[in-house]
Amino acid sequence: MSDPAAGTPTPPPPSPWERERPARTHVTPPRAPLSRERVVEAAFTVLDRQGLDGLSMRQVAGELGVTVSALYAHVSSKDDLLELMYTRLFGGFEMPAPDPERWQEQVRDYARAGRKRLLSHRDMARISMAHVPFTAELLPHVESLLAVFRTAGLPDRIAAEAGDLISTYIDGFVLEEGMWQDRAARHSGDASSLARPDLGEMAAEMQNYFASLPPGDFPHLRALSGLMVTGSSDERFDIGLEIILRGLASYLPDPDSAAHTAPEAT
Amino acid sequence: MSDPAAGTPTPPPPSPWERERPARTHVTPPRAPLSRERVVEAAFTVLDRQGLDGLSMRQVAGELGVTVSALYAHVSSKDDLLELMYTRLFGGFEMPAPDPERWQEQVRDYARAGRKRLLSHRDMARISMAHVPFTAELLPHVESLLAVFRTAGLPDRIAAEAGDLISTYIDGFVLEEGMWQDRAARHSGDASSLARPDLGEMAAEMQNYFASLPPGDFPHLRALSGLMVTGSSDERFDIGLEIILRGLASYLPDPDSAAHTAPEAT
DNA sequence: ACCTGAACACCGTTCAAGT
DNA sequence: ACCTGAACACCGTTCAAGT
């Protein structure tokens, strides 16, 4: 946890399915007039202000006080830019050295940290969802996660699937969080209160809607409406995560640790 | 299973967060010159041919032999059209009457059927991911799924999360399937063999890549590369599904059925 | 009642031309 | 070596005008 380099070996050569980027001509001078990094930075600024649908090459250029065509000297396409943003978001992600005694805790930390990064920029989950972490920069993270699963004692075919499952869960959950925020923003002051979209008001309205359903037709939805709406997103995230962790734990050879959260005494 | 109406009560009134659609002026005449349905149909045709990125209002209009602006008499926006496609894809979805003895089987059937529908049109998972099933037409399905979980005996706070978790898994899995297909299509004949993207060749190349990694740095990735690539998508889908089902089962009051797949003898 | 045509304000990407 | 300006082929959406 306090050792960022632990479990993260050197990046591998580029994989054959990676979009090849034009090799940097040479090392950037002290204060570059425009660089790949500055373009990515500006793109994040535009993303946070306008959302993914408002993120255009022209907007990024405008943010940098430059013509659109100037961007294409540093970035080969918009897709390339999005991939750079995805890679930069997860760059320097701390991965733990696998500890069989604490594997569930480690996966929990990993998932929470991933969600936190996705939440740090608007619509980032939508960008993440469109990419696969098998790039040179991100492969060490995949390796470390697999290490945690295998060291814990999970069968290989389960461990191979677990990484995907967890990543999909994180992306999907944050994506949905963002959708509710967008909805709440559009719902209240149209464009005025876009800063703090009243999520509580949205939740209340949803709950009213569920409560207004014909009781005979939607008994379960009515009964659970409180739970589906109330409660922080953090709690809901942890519950889904726990379901997955318990499912994984059920594949451990030791039956004692199968259906319990804290396998401290082994 | 053979009774489509079972467990699917009448649709509720429109929820407050649904985009309001202009009310249909009146019932469509015998052979409509252009209708909401025909627009949606044409949109599916364009989607399958060009993918989501190539799905434009102009393309849909062209498919119908009509001007772009003509579409806006039947569909209020492109977003509206996408929502109609999403709703139509899952319309008439068969939901089972909840049976506590077979809840896992029922969830499995639901998930497989959902994946099948998503696979029936190109890029459909991307569209599905961007929507929430709380529309009037889809709410009965959510209700039925919650019914299965609650009747099985799952605690309410688990049941409330389970539906989301399963849906996210289905969407996310199929989304990734589509990404590999796109990659394989781009990778082989650029635009020639777009019909049958050689997925096997892609898998082989991926496996070669993993095998070429420095063994010291990526031991787990190397060890699992076979499992992560080989094996049909169907099997991989079922494994992830099984992990979730086992996790859910671990919350059942009866410990006997906690970590087993077939709780026949209760 | 239903569709057309033209327009508006945008896109991503390319490329000759400037400095 | 790095950026500009203009152009190309597109977008979603609106609206007066036709029939």
Q: What is the pLDDT of residue B22?
A: 39
Q: Calculate the angstrom distance between C1' of C17 and CA of A77.
A: 22
Q: Residues B205-211: what's their mean pLDDT?
A: 85
**Residue A161 touches partner B, C-beta closer than 8 Å:** yes
Q: What is the pLDDT of residue A211?
A: 83
Question: What CATH code is carried by the domain that includes residue B53?
Answer: 1.10.10.60
Identify whether residues B187 and B124 lie together within a single domain. Answer: yes
Contacts of A230 in chain B (CB under 8 A): none
Paired tokens of A15: 């994989």
Is B111 within 8 Å of B170 (Cβ atoms)? yes
Total structural domains within chain A? 2
Instruction: Read off the amino acid at residue A250.
Output: S
> Which of A142, A162, A173 is nearest residue B221 as measured by Cβ atoms?
A142
Nearest CA in chain B to A147: B220
Closest Cα in chain B to A18: B183
> Gap from A72 CA to C9 C1', in Å?
23
B162 contacts in A (CB within 8 Å)?
243
Q: Are residues B218 and B111 in the same domain?
A: yes
Residue A119 approaches strand D within 7 Å at CB: no
Instruction: Specify the amino acid at residue A190.
Output: D
Percentage with pLDDT > 90 across chain A: 64
Q: Is residue B242 part of a domain?
A: yes
C-alpha–C-alpha distance, residues B141 and A11, integer Å: 45
Phi-psi region of B122 (alpha: psi -120 to 50; beta: other; left: phi over 0): beta
Q: What is the mean pLDDT of chain A?
A: 84
Instruction: Indicate if the pLDDT at residue B263 is higher than 60.
Output: no
List the nucleotides on chain D closer than 7 A to a protein CB: 1-7, 10-16
Instruction: State whether B108 and B81 are in the same domain.
Output: no
Specify the pLDDT at position A15.
55
Measured in angstroms, what separates residue A79's CA from nucleotide C5's C1'? Answer: 35
Same domain for A121 and A79? no
Distance CA B140, CA B133 (A): 9
Q: How confident is the model at residue A54 (pLDDT cuts 50, 70, 90)?
A: very high
Secondary structure of chain B in HEC code, one letter for each residue? CCCCCCCCCCCCCCCCCCCCCCCCCCCCCCCCCCCHHHHHHHHHHHHHHHCHHHCCHHHHHHHHCCCHHHHCCCCCCHHHHHHHHHHHHHCCCCCCCCCHHHHHHHHHHHHHHHHHHHHCCCCHHHHHHCCCCCCCCCHHHHHHHHHHHHHHCCCHHHHHHHHHHHHHHHHHHHHHHHHHHHHHHHHCCCCCCCCCCCHHHHHHHHHHHHHCCCCCCCHHHHHHHHHHHCCCHHHHHHHHHHHHHHHHHCCCCCHHHCCCCCCCCC
Mean pLDDT in chain B?
84
**B125 and B74 co-located in one domain:** no
Residue B20 belongs to a domain:
no
A261 domain-assigned: no
Span B228-242, pLDDT tens digits: 877 789 999 999 999
For residue range B41-55, list pLDDT tens digits in order: 999 999 999 999 999
Residue B163 pLDDT > 90: yes
**Residue A43's domain spans which residues?**
36-88
Question: Is A158 near chain B, with CB under 8 Å?
Answer: yes
Q: Is the CB of A38 under 7 A from strand D?
A: no
> Does A18 touch chain B if contact means CB atoms closer than 8 Å?
no
Rounded to the nearest angstrom, the minimum Cα separation between B246 and chain A is 5
Shared domain for B113 and B234, answered yes or no, is yes
In angstroms, the CA B139 to CA A220 distance is 11
Confidence at A192, pLDDT banded by 50, 70, 90: very low
Question: What's the whole-model pTM score?
Answer: 0.86
Query: Which nucleotide is nearest, taking the CA of residue B26 and each C1'?
Result: C1
Contacts of A172 in chain B (CB under 8 A): 129, 168-169, 171-172
**Closest-CA distance of chain B to residue A253, Å:** 12
First to last CA, chain A: 23
- List the end-to-end C-alpha distance of chain B, in Å, as a whole number: 23
Question: Are A107 and A75 contained in the same domain?
Answer: no
Residues B44 and B175 in one domain: no
Spanning CA of B81 to C1' of D13, the rounded length in angstroms is 14
- In this prediction, residues A237-261 reach a mean pLDDT of 82
- Spatial distance from the CA of A22 to the C1' of C7 (Å): 40
Output the pLDDT for position A210: 85
Read off the CATH number of the domain in which A109 is found.
Answer: 1.10.357.10
Q: pLDDT-based confidence at A26, cuts 50/70/90? A: very low
pLDDT value for A19 = 42
A30 CB below 7 A from strand D atoms? no
Are A110 and A238 in the same domain?
yes
pLDDT of residue A129: 98
- The verdict on residue B141 lying in a domain is yes
Determine the distance from the C-alpha atom of residue B133 to the mean position of all C-alpha atoms in its chain, rounded to a whole number.
11
Asked if A58 CB < 7 A from strand D, the reply is no
Average pLDDT over residues B75-102: 96
Whether A217 has its CB under 8 Å from any CB of chain B: the answer is yes
The pLDDT, as a whole number, for residue B261 is 45
pLDDT of residue B203: 80
Residue B217 has what pLDDT?
93
Q: Assess whether B137 and B233 both reside in one domain.
A: yes
Residues B172, A171: C-beta atoms closer than 8 Å: yes
pLDDT value of position A265: 37
Residue A237 and residue A158 share a domain:
yes
Give residue-wise pLDDT tens across range A37-52: 999 999 999 999 999 9
Of B28-32, B132-136, B180-184, B260-264, the poorest mean pLDDT is in: B28-32
Q: For residues A243 and A145, state if they share a domain.
A: yes
With respect to residue B234, please indicate whether it lies within any of the assigned structural domains.
Answer: yes
Report pLDDT digits (tens) over B108-125.
Answer: 999 999 999 999 999 999
The pLDDT score that the predictor gives to residue B189 is 55
Distance in Å, alpha carbon of A235 to nearest chain B alpha carbon:
10
pLDDT at B200: 78
What pLDDT sits at residue B29? Answer: 34
Residue B214 in contact with partner chain A when CB distance is under 8 A: yes
Res A86: pLDDT: 98
Of A213 and A113, more confident: A113
- Of A184-193, B28-37, B255-264, least confident by mean pLDDT is B255-264
Q: Which of residues 179-198 of B touch A (CB under 8 A)?
A: 179, 183, 187
Residue B7, pLDDT score: 41
The answer for A96, left when phi > 0, alpha when psi is -120 to 50, beta otherwise, is beta
Q: B75 in a domain, yes or no?
A: yes
Query: Closest partner residue to A218 among B12, B164, B176, by Cβ?
Result: B12
Q: Report the pLDDT value the prediction gives residue B207, as an integer from 0 to 100.
A: 84
Using the predicted structure, report yes or no on whether residue A89 has a pLDDT greater than 50.
yes
Predicted pLDDT of residue B14: 52
CA distance A20 to chain B (A): 12
Q: Is the CB of B78 under 7 A from strand D?
A: yes
- Per-residue pLDDT at A166 exceeds 80: yes
| Higher per-residue confidence, A24 vs B202 | B202
The answer to the question of residue A259 being in a domain is no
B211 or A162, which is more confident? A162
The pair of three-digit structure tokens given for residue A162, joined into one six-digit string: 């677990």
Separation CA B169–CA A27 (nearest Å): 43
Place B6 in a pLDDT band, splitting at 50, 70 and 90: very low
Nearest CB to B147 within list A134, A146, A220: A220
Number of residues in chain B? 266
Q: Tell me if A12 and B218 make a contact (CB, 8 A cut-off).
A: yes
* pLDDT for the residue B15: 56
In a domain, residue B25? The reply is no
In the predicted model, what is the mean pLDDT of residues A160-170?
Answer: 97
Least Cα separation, residue B248 to chain A (angstroms): 6
Strand, helix or coil for residue A61 = helix
Protein residue closest to D3, using CA and C1': A70
- Across the interface, whether the CB atoms of A159 and B258 are under 8 A apart is answered no
**Percent of chain B's residues with pLDDT above 70:** 79
